[in-house]
Structure 1
Amino acid sequence: MADDDLTRWNRAGLSRFRYLDGNAATFLEELRAGLQARFPRWPAVAGEGPPEEDEREWRARLERHYQADRDDLLWQIGRGFARASHVLGEHLDVYANEATLGTAGEWENLRKLVAMLDYHPRPPASAHTTLAVLAKKAGPLAAGFAVKHSPADGAPVVFETLTDLDLDPVLNAVRPADHDRNPAPLQGQYLELAGEHDKLTRGTPLVVEDTRRGSSRAHLIQSVTLDEARGVTRVRVSPRLSSRYRVGDVRVHVLPKERLAVTGPVLKGAVLGHSLRLGDDTGDLKPGETLVLSNPGHKARFLRVDRVRPRLLSFKTPLGKTYLAGARLSRPVEVPVVRRAGVPWRRRIEAGDDKGKNLYVVFVAGDWHRLQNQWVARRPSAVDTALRSFKVTRAHYQPVGVPPEADDSPAWEGYTALSLVGDELDNNPQYLLAVPESPGPWAPDPLLERAEGGVRDPLISEHSKHAAPGDFAVLVCGGAIAWARLGAVAEDEEGERTTHHAAGGAWRDSGGGPIHPDSSGAREGGPFYRDASQLFVHFTETVRLHDGQRNPTPLRGRTLPVSDPDGVLAARLGQGHRLLLDNGSGATTARVVKLEGGDPLRLTLSEPLPDDSRHDNLVLYGNAVPAGHGSGKPEQALGSGDATERHPAFELAVKDVSFVADPSQASGVRAAVEVTVDDRRWTQIANLKDAGPEDAVYTARLTEDGTLQVRFGDGRHGRRLPTGTNNVRIHYRQGVGTRGNLPPGSLTQPQRPHPRVASVRQPLPAGGGADREPEADLRESAPATLLTLSRAVSLRDFARLARAHASIWQANAFSRPTRRERRESLEVVVVPAEGARLTSELRDQLTRYLGTHGVPGVDLRVEDYVPVVIGLDITLRIDLDAFDPEPVIEAVRAALEEAFSLRRRRLGQPLYRGEVFQVVEGVRGVANSSCEIRVVSVGTEGEADGLRQVLTSGGVVRVLQPGPRQCLHLAPGRPDIAIETEAYQP
């Protein structure tokens, strides 16, 4: 028997084979290792191999050492013992093992075995996403534009655009209509200004302007509070804010540059109540005094003071119509009164303007002829009784020593005879009150003229240095306010006065009464006193309200209004245009289904808007383009055609060739290659048996080493290659696997600058990247194809078909209730490779893939699985005399991570506490243990439905039973496993 024969049948006379994984060479290595462990000076046989050595290279190296014939007795004894163990013991016949699907371990043998079932190993898949390109200028962007992600470790990950794109800067970022206008109405008395404004002061005005409606309102600042934490200024104003104004439409004009004294126009006559405002302080005036209000050419008014306040007097009786311009307020003089016997005291007036009144004649000592045509008053004895006024129709003074003018003249030397016209005068008046000869010290503050709805235009003030057309101007008198936007400003010749013309000729103050009863509240409307009024002009700052440019109104459904005042978007966005929608927390792609012109332009989309979309957070990127993981490589020769050869095959000796989505392929992906023969492009198909004799097609399969094999037809199934030299050429992209599954925002850096590209954004995650199908899956997937034949009819078929996709690890299918008659509705729940979330692109690809291979007419919906992340609390009991606890802990942790990883668990698979015990206590060194299961997280809100827990009597979880759409597993990367140790006590 040849010593180099390492594949021998079992010679021990057993009735059946029992296979072991080994041969004489590996047995010799195990024997050497055991002897060297017990006898450190025992010579090594194979020694240590290079660190990158794989299992095949390791076995080959062991066999080379085994075949060496050494002149060493110990070597020969060990080699003979290993050979005997191989021949006589229970061993593995490698050829017999590799011929069985359940036991074959070599990739190429597995590939050949599953090919007998017409199944080909599922290739890897390249990740894909949709990119938003922000354009500098319009123009074409050819497919192959590269964007890269530079991770902290490892080589850059490159994505390339997969289709051509016509760039247009207008479509860079389309926003919903009114996205920057908060529609909330103003309320109450508080404004929240954006930013911190520490120069605002109480008592100064501000103007609230409604930019949409073109109207404005003035208010007085009552208080100012800075909120540094929020970065806002809270201002209390009066009067109350108008609820017709919207927060987003408002601009607030603050900090007037000038405060001007007002000079006119002054109102000549006004109907006043009980109060009179003075231009100066009230001085020593006291309640109960009697004052006279005089104005040349007008009736003097004798008034009794009821209340004295700064610059304001209140009287017992209302003033009525009063002429304040040029009026003075004085303390009256007392004129002593006497009566002369024989002179008629009183008579009734029977005709004229004073008909019905009484005419009285009294004498006062001294010369009082100045009282002619003036008014005098008689103070009654009762304080609360109104003063009676009498008009002096005649004041005749009779000088001493001068004869009277007539015998009947009521003259008396040294006295003035006063003829008084009025109502009742008591029979014995002691004195009369008269206007003093000199004007009194108090001048009433005149009112400004009013017009309908406000103060009369124009308004005149002292000279202004800054007032200009377009500025706001606010008139303030105590708590009363009026305002206008200036249409024109003019100065007088002397430069001492400025005339302010309101745009439209109106100063608004609405003519209303007090808004608030307290004296500090601002009022719209008069009265506006000239001296008490101030004109504020040239507001220097314009600020927005806090959150004024945020429109939190939710957006739902498939219809979206967008602002298009010039009709530009309507011209650029056609039916079928691809859009990328991003709201900051969710993103999706959609096509334009319908456009309704106007402003706003109404778009109907193929997909609903992302959840939590609002006017202020949604952005539509119109320059959207699909991109895939991989970098394009220059074209190269693949080989030379030979027309006599059947099914010629060529190997592209390059690893990591990209695979892109293709629903016609059994695995849902195809190699990202372009093959040309004599400069004519041939088509990649799934299987040559489906091709006719004249079809220019080929297949692309992965080899065991990860390179690509391209195979052509035999003239019956696919056209034969024409004879030529290097006439078979290939262009390919390189980049595949889970490295391309990148989170949003990773792809923003163009690999090379482009004159039309400003920047790139990636709102959607890149998903769908997966590694090649492992051997363990091959043994399960290949037989399953016999049940489906790449066609889906039943629910189980759809689940199997989805699992056959290169980007999917697991899948379940469910029937959904539907109202549509004679139309099935199915839901397929999938676990993407590596547990990545289901992206919208991958969902679309799976939907097309299942629709291509499924029964026609089925309503399909692909949904993401619900991850249920668990945590484990483990207490290990270890014989510390025999085992070091640290290696045992690490071994337990590794065993748990493997057993309860997402790769190993199944959708809807329950988790028993006994499973955890089985894994933990199967680790060498663990005598026994205590194990508890915790639920760390369940998907997102609302996805916990269906998860049930079965507890022990002590409240410990015995079984976790998930719903059919849920998968129980440990968190990848950093599983939540808490391990403690105790000394084992037998």
Structure 2
Amino acid sequence: MANDLTRWNRAGLSRFRYLDGNAATFLEALRVDWQARFPRWPAVAGEVPPEESDRAWQARLERGYQADQDDLLWQIGRGFARASHVLGEHLDAYANEATVGTATEWENLRRLVAMLDYHPRPPASAQTTLAVLAKRPGPLAAGFAVKHNPEEGAPVVFETLEDLALDPRLNTLRPAGHDRNPASLQGQYLEISGEHDKLTRGTPLVVEDTRRGRSHAHLIQSVALDEGRGVTRVRITPRLSPKSRIGDVRLHVLPKERLAVTGPVLQGAELGHSLRLADETGDLKPGETLVLTNPGHKPRFLRVSRVRPRLVSFKAPLGPTYLAGARLSRPVEVPVIRRAGAPWRRRIGRGDHAGGNLYVLFVAGDWRRLQNQWVARRPADVDGALAAFRVVRAHYQPVDVSPEAGDTPAWEGHTALSLAGGELDANPQYLLAPPESPGPWVPDPLIERVAGGLADPLISEHSKHAAPGDFAVLVCGGSVAWSRLAAVAQDQAGEHTAHHADGGTWQDRGGGPVHADASGTGEGGPFYRDASQLYVHFTETLRLHDARRNPTPLSGRTVALSDPDGQLSERLTRGHRLVLDNGSEVVAARVEKLAGGDPLQLTLSESVPGDSRYDNLVLYGNAVAAGHGSGKPEQALGSGDATERHAGFELAVQEVSFVADPGQASGVRAAVEVTVDGRRWTQLANLRDAGQEDAVYTVRLTEDGTLSVRFGDGRHGRRLPTGVNNVRIHYRQGVGTRGNLPPGSLTEPQRPHPRVDAVRQPLPAGGGADREPETDLRESAPATVLTLSRAVSLRDFARLARAHASIWQANAFARPTRRGRRESVEVVVVPAEGARLTSALGDQLTRHLRAHGVPGVDLQVAGYEPVRIGLDITLRIDLDAFDPEPVVDAVHAALAEAFSLRHRRLGQPLYRGEVFQVVEGVRGVASSSCEVRVVSVGAGGPLPDEDEANEAGPTGAHDTGRAVLREVRTSGGVVRVLQPGPRQCLYLAPGRPDISIETEAYRP
């Protein structure tokens, strides 16, 4: 037997080996010793071959031990060697059970860590924040239960952890202006939500700006339906005002009535080159000369330049024109016989002519009706208005009739016309005179204008639907005037309706006297009576596409809420809990500061979620913390005895909830309330921290998952008073990873509540964890001795974070600090089951670290960055000896276990050799080929392939912000090492790890 029976641990073994040997080696040691002492004993005779290999040595020892010699002393020695082997293994086992790192029995391990005053971390209950939608205001007591029904297993119940004052006004709060698109209107196109096939070309619509309190009328030029986008695209005229914003605009469309207008008519106006007619132009042609007459007014002789339907344009502007009673006619041609000279002018040209040029012309026939009328010379080629001459005297001499006494003689059958006016050519051939019967064209009169628009009221034919508050639009060609109606009045006969404009003026885009082109095609008029139509009673009000969508980004910690009546400022107070949801990310926050007014400015404890906009951010104001577990009725825990020190009781119930408590070393405490003689006692982490009069108790989790409750001894904590069943307990039941639910899982109240309409779960439920496994206990127990539950160094902060019941792993980093600023530490954690770090768990962990850390340190807790890997394996199996399918299953299970998140560490590199070690450690695998690849980093997609390689072993880096994942490859381009950043963790995805396995026949 070897002399050294206390050899220390060999490299590569998970347990200490105090004895180096077994039954075969012990028997060989005895045989060598016996051979030297008893050289003639044949049973122990034998020579040790020189330069014997290890394999030959082992085979020789095996043959010697298995030899069944017919020798009593040899059999006694063989039994002694076997007994020594058995006794030695027992000594090894018991020796290992005395060490934290090697103990395998739970009770031994528990006792060892208890010597360090360490208690295994209990499980933790998940926690989340619920948004309650209230029916009516009132209190909602803590304990309101909401459940989730999974496909398998019992329902998962959460209960609210605090009282909540419900208010329906706080159900869903939106940023001020969330439903108003701030983009300006542009161009000539409107996009209307939905398909509106009743809109027609030529009809008006009204664009109302609700913010500015203004409106404008436009005409529809075209309508196009975009079925793919679900919008109607309308082209209008004139162009839109960029002062209006899309979200402030309402469109009034589809007028019910189209009415003829009767007045008020403008008597005189400054006209341009065109004249609107009440009827069609008929056979008028460009180049003709027309006369515009009106009783009591000088006629106008005009050359026509253009003829359009109901519109005549002239080569010269009309200028001031009196249109009431006017007629447009073709003039009568009066042939001129001769122009009289000066004697004739003296004899015949007397009349009421005060001065200026005077001409006497002889015309054939009786033209006495031209007395005091106006005539014009027939033009040869004149572009402007024709010069007019006033007939001051028309003297007709009948045939065969002697002149009366006093008359000036003239030619028989001719009329001597005395003309006064401008310059007349020497030999005129014809004169143009107004016809005896004016017509046939009647000019369309203009609607009366005042400063800033049309006169009020507008008179139309009888209206059946016009009402105060309606919009009305007057349309003449391409010109529009509009107003909201202040009043509508019918005449006594019921034939006409007076439409009174709001403010007393009908708006248009002219703003001054009518001039220039009077065709009615400009933006501002003029408005002709017969060519105008009044559209009233618009039947539909529409919004523009995306009018209620405000895509303006939101960031920072300030949010403005619309509060016109000031009720929100009364209801929201400092510290009020809110949940901010933008559809892709959710944040829980509290109100830190309020600035009253409308809008109400809120300063929050957290910044709004990333990618938030005015139109996607929702604030839930009836928010309350909820934890996994269902409350149970109070029951008796036991009877107190004042003579007993450290009285203890066991609550024989499993899966009792554990809730966050930064004062506990594990970060959680049992969700129990213990009362003694009706008085509530306080739960502490350790009784040694209590005074002799403190009413406190401790709770420990037993090996079988029940609770052990212990009380003081009169020195550290008060003793229990004597009584019968005077110690009572109330608890919640529900704990572990089953409570880690994704958002939207908790929506069904366990029982209806009269004040609750619905419940939403915008945030995931996180922080749920199972009790501390044995493997973690070996590390965490000694770590408490190093930290003493206080954090000074970065390693201390990491150890304290790992001591939290909801955390699997943690690393701590020093953050850059500016001069004069306090020290800053970032703790990166892997929550239990690799779940996402929820805001609730992050807040709990921050408070836990601050409670045990050095005061004044700026702490930031962040979640780890997951890096999911994939493995491509080729197995070579001796198919004559092994069935490949069980081998593949065994390799798959071994890899999934070895490279699971539970067994990987933050910043731990992955070597390809580790994969070989696991794969080829499975029975049946003769050899293998293994390749490692990255599947995804964080929440992103797959990483790009790294094709470049070099002889020195290329390195590919994937930059993910502060952490950089590097791939070190061989000269052949195969990944040799994956080196993560310190905030990253490499692992195989749980459930369905990305492992590809192929098999080949092994050939030696």
Q: TM-score, normalised by structure 2?
A: 0.87
| 8 A contact 1:629–1:736 mirrored in 2 | yes
Equivalent residue for 2:203? 204
- 2:960 paired with 1:943: yes
Deviation of 1:588 after TM superposition, in Å, equals: 2.1
**Partner Cα separation in structure 1 for residue 249 and residue 525 of structure 2:** 26
Amino acid at match of 2:987: H
**Partner Cα separation in structure 2 for residue 852 and residue 377 of structure 1:** 110
Equivalent residue for 1:970? 988
**Partner Cα separation in structure 2 for residue 825 and residue 110 of structure 1:** 37
| 8 A contact 2:271–2:517 mirrored in 1 | no
Deviation of 1:217 after TM superposition, in Å, equals: 0.7
| 8 A contact 1:512–1:524 mirrored in 2 | no
**Partner Cα separation in structure 1 for residue 257 and residue 693 of structure 2:** 91
Amino acid at match of 2:877: I
Equivalent residue for 2:817? 818
- 2:619 paired with 1:601: no
Amino acid at match of 1:262: V
- 2:829 paired with 1:848: no
Deviation of 1:375 after TM superposition, in Å, equals: 1.5
**Partner Cα separation in structure 2 for residue 318 and residue 716 of structure 1:** 115
Given the superposition, is the C-alpha separation of residues 957 and 547 from structure 1 closer, same or farther in structure 2, using an over 3 Å criterion? same
- 2:734 paired with 1:743: no
Deviation of 1:661 after TM superposition, in Å, equals: 0.5
Q: Find the residue that maps to 2:800 and give its secondary structure.
A: helix
| 8 A contact 1:349–1:356 mirrored in 2 | no
Amino acid at match of 2:968: V
Deviation digits for residues 94-117 of structure 1, max 9, x if unmatched?
655433322322323221110001
**Partner Cα separation in structure 2 for residue 374 and residue 872 of structure 1:** 111
| 8 A contact 2:365–2:415 mirrored in 1 | yes
Amino acid at match of 1:805: H
Equivalent residue for 1:871? 870
Amino acid at match of 1:498: T
| 8 A contact 2:452–2:511 mirrored in 1 | no
Q: Find the residue that maps to 1:113 and give its secondary structure.
A: helix
Given the superposition, is the C-alpha separation of residues 422 and 522 from structure 1 closer, same or farther in structure 2, using an over 3 Å criterion? closer
Gaps of 5+ in 2: 16-77, 941-958
Deviation of 1:563 after TM superposition, in Å, equals: 0.9
Amino acid at match of 1:15: L
Q: Find the residue that maps to 2:507 and give its secondary structure.
A: coil
Q: Find the residue that maps to 2:850 and give its secondary structure.
A: helix
Gaps of 5+ in 1: 1-10, 22-80
Q: Find the residue that maps to 1:505 and give its secondary structure.
A: coil
Q: How does 1:430-579 map to 2 (within 5 A)?
A: 430-511=429-510, 523-579=522-578
| 8 A contact 2:767–2:841 mirrored in 1 | yes
| Aligned-pair Cα RMSD in Å | 2.8
Equivalent residue for 1:647? 646
**Partner Cα separation in structure 1 for residue 195 and residue 305 of structure 2:** 47
Given the superposition, is the C-alpha separation of residues 329 and 104 from structure 1 closer, same or farther in structure 2, using an over 3 Å criterion? same
Q: Find the residue that maps to 2:641 and give its secondary structure.
A: coil
Q: Find the residue that maps to 1:723 and give its secondary structure.
A: coil
Amino acid at match of 1:967: C
Of the structure 1 ranges 696-705 and 399-408, higher mean CA displacement relative to structure 2 is found in: 399-408
Deviation of 1:735 after TM superposition, in Å, equals: 0.3
Deviation digits for residues 280-318 of structure 1, max 9, x if unmatched?
222122222221112222111112212222222222222
Q: How does 1:748-827 map to 2 (within 5 A)?
A: 748-819=747-818, 821=820, 823-827=822-826
Q: Find the residue that maps to 1:689 and give its secondary structure.
A: helix
Given the superposition, is the C-alpha separation of residues 85 and 200 from structure 1 closer, same or farther in structure 2, using an over 3 Å criterion? farther
Of the structure 1 ranges 634-643 and 520-529, higher mean CA displacement relative to structure 2 is found in: 520-529
Deviation of 1:788 after TM superposition, in Å, equals: 0.4
Amino acid at match of 1:586: E
Deviation of 1:905 after TM superposition, in Å, equals: 0.9
Q: How does 1:652-667 map to 2 (within 5 A)?
A: 652-667=651-666
Amino acid at match of 1:217: H
**Partner Cα separation in structure 1 for residue 413 and residue 828 of structure 2:** 123
Q: Find the residue that maps to 2:338 and give its secondary structure.
A: coil
| 8 A contact 1:349–1:359 mirrored in 2 | no
| 8 A contact 1:875–1:931 mirrored in 2 | yes
Question: May I ask how many residue pairs the two structures share in their alignment?
Answer: 915
Deviation of 1:214 after TM superposition, in Å, equals: 1.1
Deviation of 1:838 after TM superposition, in Å, equals: 0.9
Q: Find the residue that maps to 1:843 and give its secondary structure.
A: helix
Q: Find the residue that maps to 2:381 and give its secondary structure.
A: coil
Deviation of 1:92 after TM superposition, in Å, equals: 4.4
**Partner Cα separation in structure 2 for residue 595 and residue 284 of structure 1:** 78
**Partner Cα separation in structure 2 for residue 198 and residue 661 of structure 1:** 61
Amino acid at match of 1:853: H
Q: Find the residue that maps to 2:918 and give its secondary structure.
A: helix
Q: How does 1:605-624 map to 2 (within 5 A)?
A: 605-624=604-623
Given the superposition, is the C-alpha separation of residues 391 and 770 from structure 1 closer, same or farther in structure 2, using an over 3 Å criterion? same
Q: How does 1:672-751 map to 2 (within 5 A)?
A: 672-751=671-750
Equivalent residue for 1:979? 997
Deviation digits for residues 172-199 of structure 1, max 9, x if unmatched?
2222211211111111111111221111
Deviation of 1:242 after TM superposition, in Å, equals: 0.8
Q: Find the residue that maps to 1:207 and give its secondary structure.
A: strand
Equivalent residue for 1:832? 831
| 8 A contact 1:482–1:509 mirrored in 2 | yes
Amino acid at match of 2:551: P
**Partner Cα separation in structure 2 for residue 405 and residue 154 of structure 1:** 134
Equivalent residue for 2:34? none
Deviation of 1:980 after TM superposition, in Å, equals: 2.6
Q: Find the residue that maps to 2:665 and give its secondary structure.
A: coil
Of the structure 1 ranges 98-107 and 559-568, higher mean CA displacement relative to structure 2 is found in: 98-107
Deviation of 1:443 after TM superposition, in Å, equals: 1.6
| 8 A contact 2:170–2:622 mirrored in 1 | yes
Deviation digits for residues 567-621 of structure 1, max 9, x if unmatched?
1111112222222222222222222222221111112222222222222222222
Q: How does 1:247-326 map to 2 (within 5 A)?
A: 247-326=246-325
Equivalent residue for 1:899? 898
- 2:2 paired with 1:15: no
| 8 A contact 1:874–1:977 mirrored in 2 | yes
Amino acid at match of 2:337: V
Deviation of 1:218 after TM superposition, in Å, equals: 0.8
Amino acid at match of 1:784: A
Deviation digits for residues 620-662 of structure 1, max 9, x if unmatched?
2222211110000001111222233322221111110000001
Deviation digits for residues 779-799 of structure 1, max 9, x if unmatched?
111111111011111000000
Q: Find the residue that maps to 2:337 and give its secondary structure.
A: coil
Amino acid at match of 2:412: E
Q: Residue 952 of structure 1: which of 953, 961, 970 is its match?
A: 970
| 8 A contact 1:343–1:410 mirrored in 2 | no
Equivalent residue for 2:888? 889
Of the structure 1 ranges 397-406 and 889-898, higher mean CA displacement relative to structure 2 is found in: 397-406
Identity of aligned residues (%): 80
| 8 A contact 1:593–1:605 mirrored in 2 | yes
Of the structure 1 ranges 247-256 and 225-234, higher mean CA displacement relative to structure 2 is found in: 225-234
**Partner Cα separation in structure 1 for residue 5 and residue 351 of structure 2:** 155
Deviation of 1:343 after TM superposition, in Å, equals: 7.2
Q: Find the residue that maps to 2:891 and give its secondary structure.
A: helix
| 8 A contact 1:350–1:356 mirrored in 2 | no
Amino acid at match of 1:723: T
**Partner Cα separation in structure 2 for residue 385 and residue 576 of structure 1:** 84
Equivalent residue for 1:50? none
Equivalent residue for 1:184? 183
Equivalent residue for 2:330? 331
Equivalent residue for 1:160? 159
Q: How does 1:370-449 map to 2 (within 5 A)?
A: 370-382=369-381, 384=383, 387-407=386-406, 409-449=408-448
Deviation of 1:87 after TM superposition, in Å, equals: 7.5
Deviation of 1:123 after TM superposition, in Å, equals: 0.3
**Partner Cα separation in structure 2 for residue 339 and residue 523 of structure 1:** 48
**Partner Cα separation in structure 1 for residue 560 and residue 340 of structure 2:** 99
Deviation of 1:404 after TM superposition, in Å, equals: 2.1
| 8 A contact 2:316–2:384 mirrored in 1 | no
Given the superposition, is the C-alpha separation of residues 713 and 362 from structure 1 closer, same or farther in structure 2, using an over 3 Å criterion? same
| 8 A contact 1:349–1:358 mirrored in 2 | no
Q: Find the residue that maps to 1:924 and give its secondary structure.
A: coil
**Partner Cα separation in structure 2 for residue 460 and residue 85 of structure 1:** 126
Given the superposition, is the C-alpha separation of residues 20 and 769 from structure 1 closer, same or farther in structure 2, using an over 3 Å criterion? closer
Deviation of 1:820 after TM superposition, in Å, equals: 5.3
| 8 A contact 2:276–2:518 mirrored in 1 | no
Amino acid at match of 1:983: A
Equivalent residue for 1:226? 225
